[in-house]
Amino acid sequence: MPEGDTVAWTAARLQAALGGQRLVRAELRWPSLAEVDLTGAVTVVVVARGKHLLHRLDLGGERLTLHSHLRMEGTWRVRPAAETVRPDHRLRALLGTDHATALGRSLGMLDLVATTDEDRLVGHLGPDILAPSWSDDAGARRAGRHVALERLATDARPLAEALLDQRVLAGIGTFWASEACFAKRLSPWAAASTVDGDALGALLDWTQVRMAWSARTGIQSVTGLNRRDALGAVHARSGRPCRRCGDTLRVALVGQPTRERTIFYCAPCQGGLAPTDDGYPQAPLGARRDRTRRSPRY
């Protein structure tokens, strides 16, 4: 699933293409919105909120927000207005100006609400790790970082599960949860409330800096390299040697049944095997079936 950095990068691209522009073409191919006509609306701003996109519009003085979530397969792509849009059963939204066309394909959610009602859709989210006020020193107790640390410090669930809960902290997915825990030598399965506060703060700071860089560049990478074999230290590398200690990297589940997520890790570097580790896989990827192998999406 695209994570907060990918969604923020997408929002910036949509803002650059559509911001301040009037829609001359608008198609919402979504059952509940099929009869809605946004032609003539002006894009006020497109912003990210965690893994959610909020496209704020002004339609004749009425302020509306087109909300979308990419889920697993969704994308927004920008194309020149003159480019022909080919038939595509995956197309869920088309927003066009005189200069550009934005195409939303395979979107997991699409809603239209009054801008004043956005909280109905995103009000449950915790602090956004990429929000400008994340570490606002002037209002430290209100800043997102402070709130997130308070919530993690009292969360009895495994650290990775708490990090992935968007109600605790918005934006982190399995790529960043796996990479951050590995970078800071923390067990993803240790109860978040048992992790030292300074260690939690260092984990959040490490993650925020790298996610912010990814949001600016569109490259989800912990190394700064844009090569598929060098994007992460552990994510999607189960069965391969750890670049730190040389032991075999592993993958296991975290979370409650029906809501489990896969986390990649190194047992020697991070304090031992996960409680849910079934000993799979132990060979390099490609040597045997790896049911969790996925490349991160951007």
Q: Identify whether 3 is a catalytic site residue.
A: yes
How is residue 119 written in tokens?
């909280």
Q: How far apart are CA 46 and CA 39, in angstroms?
A: 17
Phi, psi of 210 (to 5 degrees): -75, -35
Map 38-52 to HEC letters.
Answer: CCCCEEEEEEEECCE
Q: Which of 27, 49, 51, 161 is catalytic?
A: 51
Closest to 121 in 3D by CA, of 110, 131, 132: 110
Question: Which among 25, 105, 244, 261 is annotated as catalytic?
Answer: 261
Q: Which of 160, 282, 178 is closest to 236 using CA atoms?
A: 178
Q: What is the DSSP string of 191-203?
A: BGGGS-HHHHHHH
Return the biggest CA–CA distance within the chain. Answer: 62
Provide the token pair at 118. Answer: 């956005």
Please state the φ and ψ torsions of residue 287, each to the nearest 5 degrees.
-80, -25
Q: Is 184 a catalytic residue?
A: no
Q: Choose, from 3, 27, 161, 179, the residue flagged as catalytic.
A: 3
Q: Which residue has the tokens 């190394």?
A: 223
Q: What is the dihedral of CA 198, 243, 296, 71, to 10 degrees?
A: -40
CA–CA separation, 251 vs 269, rounded Å? Answer: 14
Contact 32, 41 (CB under 8 A): no
Half-sphere exposure of 67 (CA within 13 A, CB side): 19
Catalytic site includes residue 261: yes
Contacts of 32 (CB under 8 A, 6+ apart): 111
CA distance 152 to 177: 13
Which residues have a catalytic role annotated? Answer: 2-3, 51, 261
